[in-house]
Structure 1
Amino acid sequence: MSEERDLQPDLEGDYAAHIAEMEATDPAFREARDRLRPLFEFRQSLIGARLAAGLTQKQLAERIGTTQPAIARLERGERWPSVETLYRLAKALGVAFVISEHEHLAVRPHRAA
């Protein structure tokens, strides 16, 4: 049992410090993190917008005509949404997903037309 435990990463340690060290010392890690940053930002934005709207994954899925597992896959970062799905998500959540060079992906409340 102790051997098995020794093979597991130290999840009790300072995660942020570990990530900072990896970014400082490992160019491949830094490149991968930069490449995946937009996906992580999208996931955070989607989850935050859903929670702010007071919706469960199932409720959001029903509003956009998909399934709860499909929403879960988006929130886990397993899939990128199509433009059509982004539109339906934005409409259901009352937000606009804004993609830019500097922010990667931001969520803004809809403005009244």
Structure 2
Amino acid sequence: MGRAGAKSAEVKELLMKDEEFKAEYEKLKPRYDVISQIIEARTSQNITQEELALRVGTQKSNISRLESGTYNPSLDFFSKVARSLGKEVQVTLK
């Protein structure tokens, strides 16, 4: 982890002490975990956002918004994206 990564971890540790921040973080964590996996799958296959959008049958802007976290997609949309990357979505309740 570089210097920026260490600093980021310190900031996160401080923020996690705030109960309101921690609750919001935990609420959004599953979405961001899935987004990270989608980005990793797309980039490891050398697929552009535009190519992924074509495969999914959507606009590139929707893929961009999905990856940036500014779009709250449906489970169906996540499933379409996953299938377009040769993956599948698995949901587990704990």
TM-score, length-normalised on structure 2? Answer: 0.82
The Cα shift of 1:88 comes to 2.0
Structure 1 portions without partners, runs of 5+: 1-10, 103-113
Per-residue CA deviations over 1:21-54 (Å, capped at 9, x if unaligned) read 221x311111111111112112101111111222
> 2:88 matched to 1:91?
no
The Cα shift of 1:87 comes to 2.8
Q: How many residues align?
A: 91
Q: In 2, Cα distance between the equivalents of 1:76 and 1:30? A: 20
Structure index of larger Rg: 1
Name the CA shift for 1:84/1:33 in 2 (closer, same or farther; >3 Å). Answer: closer
The residue number in structure 2 matching 1:78 is 70
The Cα shift of 1:81 comes to 2.3
Structure 2 portions without partners, runs of 5+: none
The residue number in structure 2 matching 1:108 is none
> 2:50 matched to 1:20?
no
Correspondence list, 1:101-112, <5 A: 101=93
Correspondence list, 1:13-52, <5 A: 14-23=7-16, 25-52=17-44
The Cα shift of 1:56 comes to 0.3
- Higher strand fraction: Structure 1 or Structure 2? 1
TM-score, length-normalised on structure 1? Answer: 0.70
The Cα shift of 1:99 comes to 2.0
The Cα shift of 1:58 comes to 0.2
